[in-house]
Amino acid sequence: MNSIPNAAGFTLSGGKIGVLVLHGFTSTPVAIKPWADFFNQQGFTVSAPLLPGHGSNWQELNEMSWQDWYAAVEASFNELKGKCERVFIAGFSMGGTLALRLCQIHGNQIEGLMLLNTPIHDRRWFMKLVPLAKYLIPSIKKGPTDVAAPNPPKHAYGRTPLKAFDSLRQLWRVVERDLYLIDLPIMVAYSTNDHAVDPANSQTIVDNIFSVDIQEVVFENSYHNVSIDFDSQQLNIESKLFIEDVLAGKLKRGSDFNESDIVDAQFDSIISGLSLDQSAPTTYLDELSRIEESERFRPPNPKKIVLDQIQRIAAALFVGSSVYLLLFGFTDFEIFGPWPAILGYLTCVATIIWRTARRDDDFEDGASL
């Protein structure tokens, strides 16, 4: 049963040009329906699937992984490709992340890619706590609204399930690692006032793909979900122009380098400045041997850490303070504000320093070092 009205996926019949439109994390096709409707009004066949775990409740989403979402995207793409001669992909937020992955694998079958506020990383320090927090807290409340326009339709859950979110973070890492595989025409659109996705994500995409033709579109009046926000008309127009330019051949696939060129460029960068003359003080082969030796991994041999009873108590206090801080930051749990956690951190750090400082030193006053 869907908890969000009109959350089901849909297909809109049109011509031989197809557009696969993908919604975001915790969201539904409601969030991208105006965008999808516009594509159909231009005569395109449109597919907008509901991704697994979405549209029902956040508990169900917490049972899904990014592989489940990608499998659904790939199935919808294959179905649309069977109906159309040429296919474009349009992805919003996580839908854009999945679209990037689809293009990394099936890029030669896709005409062009349109991304809207697409995340591939989040550098904030507390994101490193998610792998632990998902075992302690099933979900957290969402932050500020992702739509600047008044009275937006209900389109997403009110909570973020952490287990599913951690799986999404794994997808980010895979997609960011393989950005160099993207070489098709691409439109990268983002909001300057996005509360959910840092615009730096879009710059990372632009800087690391191998596409020749990249169009950047910036929205200044909308938040995260532009399709149902103030700049929706600008999004539609820019998307239409992008598709028309690709179909007309004005925007083309491919990079300035093929695979052989890239290998040659990497090899040239290694040997630049090195001498192949055997009479020189060092030869090219000598330099390669030296580099290999200097970069060889030497495993450390750390001493086993042994904590005494007081240090173990301090470590337990550190863990307890971390749990309290997580509860305070992500839930409504609050007793004395963040101060118990802060005092706990200070106490355990001071205790560990006190118990470990110069514990093995036996220097006498005036002894030479």
Q: Is residue 97 part of a domain?
A: yes
Q: 163 and 69 share a domain?
A: yes
Would the pLDDT of 330 be above 90? no
pLDDT digit string (tens) for 213-262? 999 999 999 999 999 999 999 999 999 999 999 999 999 987 544 555 44
Residue 291 lies in a domain: no
Residue 164 has pLDDT above 50, yes or no: yes
Residue 301 pLDDT greater than 70, yes or no: no
Are residues 317 and 190 located together in one domain of the fold? no
SS (H, E, C) the chain: CCCCCCCCCEEECCCCEEEEEECCCCECHHHHHHHHHHHHHCCCEEEECCCCCCCCCHHHHCCCCHHHHHHHHHHHHHHHHHHCCEEEEEEECHHHHHHHHHHHHHHHHCCEEEEECCCCCCCCHHHHHHHHHHHHCCEEECCCCCCCCCCCCCCECCEEEHHHHHHHHHHHHHHHHCHHHCCCCEEEEEECCCCCCCCHHHHHHHHHCCCCCEEEEEECCCCCCHHHCCCHHHHHHHHHHHHHHHHCCCCCCCCCCCHHHHHHHHHHHHHCCCCCCCCCCCCHHHHHHHHHHHHCCCCCCCCCCCCCHHHHHHHHHHHHHHHHHHHHHHCCCCCECEHHHHHHHHHHHHHHHHHHCCCCCCCCCCCCC
Q: Looking at the domain assignment, is residue 303 inside a domain?
A: no
| The pair of three-digit structure tokens given for residue 247, joined into one six-digit string | 């179909």
Assigned domain for 257 exists: no
**What does each C-alpha distance from 245 to 85, 111, 215, 252 come to in angstroms?**
17, 11, 11, 9
| 343 and 207 co-located in one domain | no
Between 89-98, 199-208, 215-224, 246-255, the lowest mean confidence (pLDDT) is in 246-255
Q: Would you state the pLDDT for residue 296?
A: 60
- Residue 65 sits in a domain whose CATH number is 3.40.50.1820
Q: Are the C-beta atoms of residues 323 and 136 closer than 8 Å to each other? A: yes
Is the residue at 273 inside a domain? no
Give the number of domains in the chain.
2
pLDDT at 33: 97
pLDDT band at 302 (very low <50, low <70, confident <90, very high): low
Are 193 and 318 members of one domain?
A: no
Domain boundary among 203, 232, 247: 247
Tell whether 254 is covered by a domain.
no
Are 65 and 164 in contact by the 8 Å Cβ rule? The answer is yes
Whether 32 and 106 share a structural domain: yes
Q: Cβ distance 155 to 225 under 8 Å?
A: yes
Q: What are the pLDDT digits (tens) for 258-268?
A: 555 444 433 44
Query: What is the average pLDDT across 184-199?
Result: 96
Domain boundary among 211, 228, 247: 247
Confidence of residue 277 (pLDDT cuts 50, 70, 90): very low
Examine the fold and report which residue of 247, 263, 290 is the final residue of a domain before the chain moves on. Answer: 247
pLDDT in the model for residue 306: 63
Percentage with pLDDT > 90 across the chain = 65
Are 147 and 217 in a shared domain? yes
| 187-201, 214-228, 324-338: least confident range | 324-338
Q: Is the Cβ–Cβ distance between 272 and 74 less than 8 Å?
A: no
Residue 340, burial from CB neighbour count under 10 angstroms (0-12, 13-18, 19+): middle
Regarding whether 172 and 59 lie in a shared domain, the answer is yes
Note whether residue 92 is domain-resident.
yes
Nearest to 290 by CA among 274, 301, 278: 274
Establish if 99 belongs to a structural domain: yes
- Do residues 131 and 156 make contact, with C-beta atoms less than 8 angstroms apart? no
C-alpha to C-alpha distance for 116 and 119, rounded to whole angstroms: 9
**318 lies in the same domain as 243:** no
Q: Do 323 and 233 share a structural domain? A: no
Asked whether 139 and 166 are in contact (CB, 8 A), the reply is no
pTM, to two decimals: 0.71
CA distances from 120 to 19, 170, 171, 177, 210 (A): 22, 10, 8, 10, 16
pLDDT at 350: 73
The boundaries of the domain holding residue 127 are: 10-247
Do 176 and 319 belong together in one domain? no
CB–CB of 172/97 below 8 Å? yes
How confident is residue 318, by pLDDT bands cut at 50, 70 and 90?
A: confident
Same domain, 237 and 313: no
Q: What is the pLDDT of residue 366?
A: 40
Chain-wide mean pLDDT for the chain? 84
Q: In this predicted structure, what is the pLDDT of residue 351?
A: 73
Q: Are residues 173 and 34 part of one domain?
A: yes
